[in-house]
């Protein structure tokens, strides 16, 4: 019994030492304010299918704020299924509301409006985003997370 305790203690100590010597993969500093990303604008008066950003470059462990603005030229349902399941969602602000949720499935704009999402990417990869049903019109992009 005593030998088992020493073995367990030694194993835990060795595991802690190994964990302390492993490199940290996340590069962000969550004690800082979120980095503001370029706004994602959905449509304009001239082109209802214009998407202002086609690509975002992000880092795991770093806090971000993304404002999504709908021109109201048509109904937009912004989706990013794999991305939304690979982030820590801090909150969503829309109008005079602050929404705290575990995850998103989509942001739907039936008219002109805006929403801000505050999040931390936790998984690297290339994650597509798109306005559902409008992909063929060019309303799609990618979040590249390293």
Dihedral (C-alpha) 37, 41, 108, 96: value to the nearest 10 degrees? 70
pLDDT band at residue 26, thresholds of 50, 70 and 90? Answer: low
Distant-in-sequence, close-in-space partners of 32: CB < 8 Å, separation ≥ 6 = 63
Average pLDDT over residues 112-139: 96
Full-prediction pTM beyond 0.85?
Answer: no
81 three-state secondary structure:
helix
Q: How far apart are CA 72 and CA 51, in angstroms?
A: 13
Dihedral (C-alpha) 97, 101, 106, 110: value to the nearest 10 degrees? -20
Average pLDDT over residues 79-93: 96
Average pLDDT over residues 25-51: 85
């Amino acid at each position: 019994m005593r030998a088992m305790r020493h073995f367990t203690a030694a194993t835990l100590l060795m595991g802690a030492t190994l964990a302390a010597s492993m490199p940290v993969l996340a590069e962000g500093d969550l004690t800082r304010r979120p980095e503001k990303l370029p706004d994602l604008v959905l449509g304009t008066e001239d082109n209802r299918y214009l998407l202002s950003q086609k690509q975002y470059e992000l880092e795991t462990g770093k806090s971000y704020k993304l404002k999504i603005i709908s021109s109201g030229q048509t109904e937009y349902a912004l989706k990013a299924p794999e991305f939304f399941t690979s982030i820590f969602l801090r909150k969503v602000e829309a109008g005079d509301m602050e929404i705290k949720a575990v995850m998103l499935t989509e942001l739907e704009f039936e008219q002109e409006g805006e929403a801000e999402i505050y999040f931390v990417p936790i998984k690297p990869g290339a994650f597509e985003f798109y306005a559902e049903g409008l992909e063929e019109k060019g309303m799609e992009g990618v979040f590249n997370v390293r």
